[in-house]
Amino acid sequence: MDRPLTKNIGPGKAPTDLTAYVANEGYEAVRATLGKLSCADVLDLVKDSNLRGRGGAGFPTGMKWSFVPMGETEGHKYLVCNADEMEPGTFKDRLILEYDPHQLIEGMILSAYTINADIGYIFIRAEYHVAAKRLKEAIEEARQAGLLGQNILGSGYNFELFVHSSAGRYICGEETALLNSLEGKRATPRAKPPFPQVSGLWGRPTIVNNVETLCNITHIVAHGADWFKGLGIGDDAGTKLFGASGRVRNPGCWELPMGTPIREILEEYAGGMQPGYELKGFLPGGASTDFLVPEHLDLPMDYDAIMKAGSRMGTGTMIILDDRTCPVAMVRNLEMFFARESCGFCTPCREGLPWIFQILDDIEEGRGQPGDLELLTRQGNFIGAIGNTHCAHAPGAIEPLASAMKYFEADFNRHIEEKACPYDH
């Protein structure tokens, strides 16, 4: 099984420096592309590969890039890597950032070349100190080797790359809030249109993609679109970094074909549930996705199948809920996080999420009242509807709550009726 994203990562392997990366076909795609293929040729290759964004939305990458105006323009174009990875339960990009930073750098060089960008930024989570240090060291190695800077490898193409540490807010994962933060402004999402591809960082054409997406570009350019499509099991192309956390025997992160069944990920790779615990439900793609339950275990992990089941694949990193953990307490903790991380720009999110958290806190602590679930449903229906809030933060926050009330309604009712949490803590 081809695992291009993690071929340099594994037990007993040290983080790759430039020498180790080059020894394993590193930067060969850059050498074969810069000054030899046109931007349009590479863009067609990315479109043909059917690569979809790995940050959560799953938007076709080639289509997104095609919106960047090409031709002779004055001023810079920017490529920004979203390495903010603050979604609870998500830890996949950190694997690449810490252990194979040159893979990201090569992917960014090729991506920037495709959209004719001359400056790139890696916007990294503030707490990723080790990753930031290794990225900066790798960037300097690449610069000294003539792989970054002016006239890269004599191709006439110029590209500078910088690391920028986030100020530490989850909302920076939204691409326009990220751009505002990068400009030194408050991290508030922007109104769209205009979209960043036309008017992004400092008003210039900008592409924002996450770490895993950009790393895939290297392998698509090196091996071709058909090879990449052949890596997936179903309709979605390529491999994916899947993960699982919670009371499984072997929590972790694995590169597997797109479309790998959920049951295979949980039972074969995560090792199944720990002794004495049973699966009650799971969030398939991080904290801002809807719960699924054991009846969904045989679904393939791909964008369309998970969406048809009523959730989203998101980041592909599953959070497991076991039968001895209170679902009300779990959702309360998530809503507390989302309420704290609201940018505060719009009233439904700023005021609505703390209100939802307070209701859940009352239910969990035995202060729940008849009508609380109806109130949560009504409030969730309002702020969870796209268009009623400035961005998708509040709708994402509502997904685990609404689905928990759907699948675990009896648990909510027991809390209210018994005036206490029935689970041991």
Do the beta carbons of residue 408 and residue 281 sit within 8 Å?
Answer: yes
Report the pLDDT value the prediction gives residue 40, as an integer from 0 to 100.
Answer: 95
Report the pLDDT value the prediction gives residue 1, as an integer from 0 to 100.
Answer: 67
- Token representation of residue 67: 């919106």
Report the pLDDT value the prediction gives residue 226, as an integer from 0 to 100.
Answer: 96
Report the pLDDT value the prediction gives residue 177, as an integer from 0 to 100.
Answer: 95
For the stretch 195-240, pLDDT in tens is: 999 999 999 999 999 999 999 999 999 999 999 999 999 889 999 9
Report the pLDDT value the prediction gives residue 425, as an integer from 0 to 100.
Answer: 65
Do the beta carbons of residue 220 and residue 54 sit within 8 Å?
Answer: no
Tens digit of each residue's pLDDT, the chain (425 residues): 689 999 999 888 999 999 999 999 999 999 999 999 999 999 999 999 999 999 877 899 999 999 999 976 678 999 999 999 998 989 999 999 999 999 999 999 999 999 999 999 999 999 999 999 999 999 999 999 999 999 999 999 999 999 999 988 899 999 999 999 999 999 999 999 999 999 999 999 999 999 999 999 999 999 999 999 999 998 899 999 999 999 999 999 999 999 999 999 999 999 999 999 999 999 999 999 999 999 999 999 999 999 999 999 999 999 999 999 999 999 999 999 999 999 999 999 999 999 999 999 999 999 999 999 999 999 999 999 889 999 999 999 999 999 999 999 999 999 999 999 999 76
CATH topology of domain 327-418: de novo design (two linked rop proteins) (1.20.1440)
Class of domain 4-229: alpha beta
In whole numbers, what is the pLDDT of the chain averaged over residues? 95
CATH code matching the domain that covers 239-322, chosen among 3.40.50.2300, 3.40.50.1370, 3.10.20.600, 1.10.1060.10 = 3.10.20.600
Residue ranges covered by each domain of the chain: 4-229, 239-322, 327-418
Q: What is the 3-state secondary structure (H, E, C) of the chain?
A: CCCHHHCCCCCCCCCCCHHHHHHCCCCHHHHHHCCCCCHHHHHHHHHHHCCECCCCCCCEHHHHHHCCCCCCCCCCCEEEEEECCCCCCCCHHHHHHHHCHHHHHHHHHHHHHHHCCCEEEEEECCCCHHHHHHHHHHHHHHHHCCCCECCHHHCCCCEEEEEEECCCCHHHHCHHHHHHHHCCCCCCCCCCCCCCCCCCHHHCCEEEEEHHHHHHHHHHHHHCHHHHHCCCCCCCCCEEEEEEECCECCCEEEEEECCCEHHHHHHHHCCCECCCCCEEEEEECECCCCCECHHHCCCECCHHHHHHCCCCCCCCEEEEEECCCCHHHHHHHHHHHHHHHCCCCCHHHHHHHHHHHHHHHHHHCCCCCCCHHHHHHHHHHHHCCCCCCCCCHHHHHHHHHHHHHHHCHHHHHHHHHHCCCCCCC
